[in-house]
Amino acid sequence: MNDQPQIIRFRELIAEAHKHGLKSIQTHAVQYPAADNGQRAIFRAEIELQPQPEGPLLHVEATGDADPNNVSKMVVGALIRMAETRAVARALRWATGLDGVADVEMPDYTERPVAQPQSRPAASPRSRQSAPLPEGPASEAQRKAVIALCSQAGIVPPDTLAEWSAQKAAEWIEQRQKKNRAENAAS
46 CB contacts (<8 Å, ≥6 apart)? Answer: 24, 25, 26, 27, 28, 59, 60, 61, 91
Tens-place pLDDT, residues 70-103: 888 888 888 999 999 999 999 998 888 887 788 8
Spell out the alpha helix ranges (H) of the chain: 10-19, 79-96, 140-153, 166-186
Q: d(Cα 153, Cα 135) in Å, to the nearest integer?
A: 27
Q: Domain coordinates of the chain in residue numbers? A: 1-131, 132-187
Tens-place pLDDT, residues 110-163: 433 444 445 445 444 444 444 444 567 877 777 777 777 777 777 888 888 888
Give the global pTM: 0.59
